[in-house]
């Protein structure tokens, strides 16, 4: 919070000075209303709106890096706040009828603020298009930040279930095949034990980037749990999915990961399994995929046993 | 007969804060959670844990678990914690685990030093002709946190075995709770042999794995570490919890008439104190007695292969009808239903 005020001290300081100036101006020109003349519903309505505008400014500043879009949004919201602030002052201080500037103070910042806010939101939209392009292969159609895991960052198991339900329905309607791919790192727990859990998280992040690079545009990648990833492959038959899985496995096997501390080369290894959706719902499909992975993990000689 | 009062209760400050609680805090720190919010409601401060080697009560640890779980809001918290718990950094007992010759020895250590290694959940081992069963008893009245504690503890044992033996041991996991939504965490951290809505929280493994040599075994270092462990236990002063003690006591005397009054006398306390102590752990005498009788009945029917009449006689029921009725009350199933319901023993 303190960091926030330091970073935006100019914006917030200007707002504070202007709000104070308005207060001083009102007090100099008019008189305080007696308590029994105050219209409390108006005060709560207008004062509350002003307070909310201030809250929006803080939220915008806290959630966005500084830059043009942020400045536009804050300037717009600042104007709105100022206008509502003057409106609120009006309720407490009675100005003589000869004074007109209080109406200007109230009504001029409002359209300017709306204009700035609109401009800000428009540029925000442009910015979001670019960010969405970067989120390709990780997010589709809808967003819920609670479903994103904090380590990689990919969608987690719940996001996978939701996307899978949608994809299964689409595949059925469009008569398209749909495949799922599961990839699991071999002996990942040993990396955690030997190099620490922070290093393990780094490995997961690196592998996430690697897998994203090797997937196609319309595929989606999730982290199911721990070191197990799932890719949703729309319009893909089992054979093609299998080939893709082999590519992903080869990419992980040949990946030269170096530890953060000593730069030591870690040999990663992955197991991959693929299933194609038939009559499944999302839960049974995931279960089938999990069993396929368990089979793929067994060494070849175990199959004959 | 009286028992010495060397057990801990859920408000005894018996868990070293820099053992399991520190592992939990580390997990929260790694995810950028505000320490003060994690400690809220525990009457603990960050400095307590960092600077002084203080001990905290099980109830405080459970509160800490509750806070962490809510703040991290992530399904894998228990499993990630579990991976850090064993052998852990708990002094000589951790060294002894690290040098264990084989699974049997590791489990013996885990059970003997459970007050240090697993203070919230007491392990018990049972071996029949084919399998070893490691089952777990709630030590401190864990209530809502029981599932978290069970997930973490079983993950800890599984991860310990994997690390020390150098291979993935074929554990089969049985949980009392119903299948949760985050089943994928169980797949990834425990494997595919997982059963929910079971009668007992239990891990099962083919018996031959008990004595297979572990590569990290070091007999001399192990012997010394075991001697030091014994000393560590004596310094600590507690070897098991009150509920754990009570379970063992009831189990030992299960074929005798057991009443609140008699057990209170055995524990050298008044019936009112016993009642109060049980209430503090969110349970009652009848509930504990039924828990033990359920365990004995399951053992007799599924491991010893008794029929209903034999089990009824063993537990001093007048007839098998009475036994069947009680069994249904304990487990929710008639003995015959449970036999069909379970493909595997217990």
**What is the domain count for chain A?**
2
Q: pLDDT per residue over B242-251, tens digit each?
A: 999 999 999 9
pLDDT band at B5 (very low <50, low <70, confident <90, very high): low
DSSP alpha helix (H) spans, B113-253:
114-117, 146-165, 183-190, 219-236, 242-252
Which of A156, A201, A290 is nearest residue B187 as measured by Cβ atoms? Answer: A290
How many other C-beta atoms can be found within 10 angstroms of the C-beta atom of residue A112? 15
Q: What is the residue range of A258's domain?
A: 145-303
Length of chain B in terms of residues written: 346
Mean pLDDT of B37-66: 87
How far apart are the CA of B330 and the nearest CA of chain A, in angstroms?
32
Q: Is residue A140 part of a domain?
A: no
Same domain, A184 and A274: yes
Same domain, A182 and A288: yes
Residues 6+ apart with CB under 8 A from B335: B297, B301, B308, B311, B323, B324, B327
Among residues A215, A153, A151, the alpha carbon closest in space to that of A183 is found at A215
Residues of chain B contacting residue A197, judged by C-beta atoms under 8 Å apart: 30, 80, 83-84
Q: Is residue A172 part of a domain?
A: yes
Mean pLDDT of B109-134: 95
Same domain, A233 and A258: yes
Q: Which residue of B has its CA nearest to A199?
A: B30
Which of A197, A228, A291 is nearest residue B188 as measured by Cβ atoms? Answer: A228
Return d(Cα A141, Cα A124) in angstroms, integer.
18
Beta bridge partners of B127: B132
Same domain, A271 and A234: yes
Between β-strands B172-174 and B194-195, what pairing exists: parallel, antiparallel or unpaired?
Answer: parallel
How high is the ipTM of this complex? 0.85
Same domain, A198 and A293: yes
The pLDDT value given to residue A2: 60
Percent of chain B with pLDDT over 90: 74
Between β-strands B194-195 and B202-206, what pairing exists: parallel, antiparallel or unpaired?
Answer: unpaired
The pLDDT value given to residue A300: 56
The pLDDT value given to residue A96: 84
B253-341: CATH, from 1.10.10.60, 2.60.40.1250, 3.40.50.2000, 3.30.360.10: 1.10.10.60
Q: Which of A115, A134, A153 is the last residue of a domain?
A: A134
pLDDT in tens, chain A (305 residues): 566 667 777 888 888 999 999 999 888 888 888 888 888 888 899 899 999 999 999 898 888 888 888 889 999 999 999 999 998 988 888 888 888 888 888 889 999 999 999 999 999 998 888 888 777 778 876 777 777 777 888 999 999 999 999 999 999 999 999 999 999 998 898 999 889 888 999 999 999 999 999 999 899 999 999 999 999 999 999 999 999 999 999 999 999 899 988 889 999 999 999 999 988 888 999 999 999 999 998 765 544 33
Percent of chain B with pLDDT over 70: 96
Return d(Cα A282, Cα A165) in angstroms, integer.
6
Cβ contact A273:A292 at 8 Å: yes
Beta bridge partners of A270: A185
Q: Do B73 and A146 touch (CB under 8 A)?
A: yes
Q: Is residue A139 part of a domain?
A: no
Q: Do A226 and B188 touch (CB under 8 A)?
A: yes
B9-18, B42-51, B139-148, B264-273: the lowest-pLDDT one: B42-51
Question: Given a cut of 70, is residue B341 above it in pLDDT?
Answer: no
* Range picked from A48-57, B36-45, B51-60 for highest mean pLDDT: A48-57
Q: pLDDT per residue over B100-109, tens digit each?
A: 999 999 999 9
Same domain, A97 and A55: yes
Same domain, A72 and A127: yes
Element (H, E) at B280: helix B271-280
Q: Do B74 and A150 touch (CB under 8 A)?
A: yes
Q: Do A146 and B79 touch (CB under 8 A)?
A: no
Of B53 and B95, which is predicted with more confidence? Answer: B95
Could you write out the three-class secondary structure of chain A?
A: CHHHHHHCHHHHHHHHHHHHHHHHHHHHHCEECCHHHCCHHHHHHHHHHHHHHHHHHHHHHHHCCCCHHHHHHHHHHHHHHHHHHHHHHHHHEECCCCCCHHHHHHHCHHHHHHHHHHHHHHHHHHHHHHHHHHCCCCCCCCCCHHHECCCCCCECHHHHHHHHHHHHHHHHHHCCCEEEEEEEECCHHHHHHHHCHHHHHHHHHHHHHHHHHHCCCCCEEEEEECCEEEEEEECCCHHHHHHHHHHHHHHHHCCEEECCCCCCEEECCEEEEEEECCCCCHHHHHHHHHHHHHHHHCCHHHHCC
The pLDDT value given to residue A205: 93
Query: Could you tell me which CATH number the domain at B9-236 has?
Result: 3.90.1520
Q: Do B74 and A149 touch (CB under 8 A)?
A: yes
The pLDDT value given to residue B155: 97
B3-7, B158-162, B288-292: the lowest-pLDDT one: B3-7
Element (H, E) at B173: strand B172-174
Question: Given a cut of 90, is residue B36 above it in pLDDT?
Answer: no
> Six-digit token pair at B281?
């752990």
Return d(Cα A90, Cα A82) in angstroms, integer.
12
> Six-digit token pair at A235?
């319009």
Residues of chain A contacting residue B185, judged by C-beta atoms under 8 Å apart: 225-226
Same domain, A205 and A247: yes
Cβ contact B260:B299 at 8 Å: no
Same domain, A21 and A106: yes
How far apart are the CA of B315 and the nearest CA of chain A, in angstroms?
42
Q: Do B162 and A227 touch (CB under 8 A)?
A: no
Return d(Cα B154, Cα A289) in angstroms, integer.
24
Return d(Cα A115, Cα A120) in angstroms, integer.
9
Q: Which of A70, A100, A134 is the last residue of a domain?
A: A134
Q: Is residue A95 part of a domain?
A: yes
The pLDDT value given to residue B237: 82
How far apart are the CA of A224 and the nearest CA of chain B, in angstroms?
7
Question: Given a cut of 90, is residue B45 above it in pLDDT?
Answer: no
Interface size, chain A vs chain B, as Cβ–Cβ contacts under 8 Å? 49
CATH number of the domain where residue A280 is located: 3.30.70.270
Residues of chain B contacting residue A227, judged by C-beta atoms under 8 Å apart: 188
Length of chain A in terms of residues written: 305
Cβ contact B3:B268 at 8 Å: yes
Q: Do A225 and B184 touch (CB under 8 A)?
A: yes
Mean pLDDT of B38-67: 87
Residues of chain A contacting residue B80, judged by C-beta atoms under 8 Å apart: 197
Q: Which residue of A has its CA nearest to B88?
A: A193
The pLDDT value given to residue A138: 80
Of B275 and A140, which is predicted with more confidence? Answer: B275
Which of B73, B159, B185 is nearest residue A225 as measured by Cβ atoms? Answer: B185
DSSP letter (8 states) at residue B143: G
Same domain, A202 and A130: no
Q: Do A150 and B31 touch (CB under 8 A)?
A: yes
Question: Given a cut of 50, is residue B323 above it in pLDDT?
Answer: yes
Q: Which of A114, A134, A154 is the last residue of a domain?
A: A134
- A153 cis-preceded (ω within 30 degrees of 0): yes
Q: In chain B, what are the domain boundaries?
A: 9-236, 253-341
Same domain, A31 and A130: yes
Q: Do A197 and B84 touch (CB under 8 A)?
A: yes
The pLDDT value given to residue B342: 58
Same domain, A107 and A203: no
> Six-digit token pair at A36?
């029994």
Q: Do A225 and B189 touch (CB under 8 A)?
A: yes
């Amino acid at each position: 919070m303190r960091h926030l005020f330091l970073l935006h001290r100019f914006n917030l300081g200007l707002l504070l000075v202007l709000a104070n100036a308005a207060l001083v101006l009102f007090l100099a020109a008019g008189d305080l209303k007696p308590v029994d003349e105050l219209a409390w519903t108006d005060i709560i309505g207008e004062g509350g709106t002003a307070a909310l505008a201030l809250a929006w400014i803080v939220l915008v500043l806290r959630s966005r890096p500084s830059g043009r879009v942020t400045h536009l949004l804050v300037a717009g919201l600042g104007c709105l706040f100022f206008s509502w602030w003057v409106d609120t002052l009006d309720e407490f201080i009675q100005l003589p009828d000869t004074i007109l500037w209080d109406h200007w103070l109230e009504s001029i910042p409002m359209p300017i603020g709306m204009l700035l806010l609109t401009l800000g939101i428009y540029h925000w939209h442009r910015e979001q298009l670019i960010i969405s392009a970067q989120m390709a292969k990780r997010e589709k159609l809808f967003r819920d930040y609670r479903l994103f895991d904090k380590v990689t960052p990919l969608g987690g198991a719940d996001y996978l279930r939701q996307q899978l339900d949608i994809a299964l329905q689409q595949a059925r309607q469009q008569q398209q095949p749909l495949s799922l791919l599961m990839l699991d790192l071999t002996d990942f727990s040993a990396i955690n034990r030997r190099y620490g859990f922070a290093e393990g998280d780094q490995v997961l992040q690196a592998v996430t980037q690697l897998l994203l690079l090797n997937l196609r545009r319309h595929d989606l990648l999730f982290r199911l749990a721990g070191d197990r990833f799932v890719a949703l492959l729309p319009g893909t038959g089992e054979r093609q999915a299998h080939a893709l899985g082999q590519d992903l496995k080869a990419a992980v096997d040949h990946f030269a990961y170096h530890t953060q501390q000593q730069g030591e080369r870690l040999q990663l290894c992955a197991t991959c399994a693929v299933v194609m959706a038939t009559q499944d719902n999302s839960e049974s499909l995931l279960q089938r995929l999990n069993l396929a992975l368990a089979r793929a993990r067994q060494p070849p000689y175990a199959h004959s046993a | 007969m009286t028992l010495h009062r060397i057990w801990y209760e859920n408000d005894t400050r018996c868990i070293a804060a820099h053992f399991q609680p520190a592992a939990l805090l580390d997990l929260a720190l790694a995810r950028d959670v505000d320490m003060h919010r994690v400690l809220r409601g525990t009457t603990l401060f960050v400095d307590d844990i960092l600077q002084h080697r203080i001990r905290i009560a099980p109830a405080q640890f459970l509160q800490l678990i509750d806070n962490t779980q809510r703040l991290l809001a992530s399904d894998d918290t228990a499993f990630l914690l579990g991976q850090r718990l064993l052998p852990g950094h708990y002094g000589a007992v951790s060294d002894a685990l690290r040098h264990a010759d084989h699974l049997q020895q590791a489990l013996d250590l885990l059970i003997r030093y459970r007050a240090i290694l697993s203070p919230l959940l007491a392990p018990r081992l049972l071996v029949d002709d084919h399998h070893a069963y490691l089952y777990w008893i709630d030590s401190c009245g864990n209530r809502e946190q029981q599932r978290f504690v069970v997930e973490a503890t079983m993950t800890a044992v599984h991860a310990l075995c994997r690390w020390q033996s150098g291979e993935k041991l074929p554990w089969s996991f049985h949980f009392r709770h119903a299948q949760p939504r985050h089943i994928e965490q169980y797949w990834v951290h425990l494997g595919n042999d997982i059963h929910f809505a079971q009668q007992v929280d239990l891990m099962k493994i083919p018996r031959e794995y008990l004595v297979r040599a572990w590569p990290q075994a070091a007999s001399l270092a192990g012997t010394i570490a075991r001697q030091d462990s014994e000393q560590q236990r004596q310094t600590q002063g507690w070897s098991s919890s009150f509920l754990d003690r009570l379970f063992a006591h009831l189990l030992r005397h299960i074929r005798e008439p057991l009443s609140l009054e008699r057990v209170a006398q055995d524990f050298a306390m008044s019936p009112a104190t016993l009642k109060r102590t049980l209430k503090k752990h969110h349970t009652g005498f009848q509930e504990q007695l039924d828990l033990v009788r359920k365990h004995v009945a399951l053992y007799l029917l599924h491991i010893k292969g008794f029929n209903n009449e034999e089990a009824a006689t063993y537990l001093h029921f007048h007839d098998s009808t009475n036994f069947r009725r009680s069994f249904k009350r304990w487990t929710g199933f008639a003995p015959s239903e449970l036999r069909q319901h379970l493909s595997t023993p217990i």
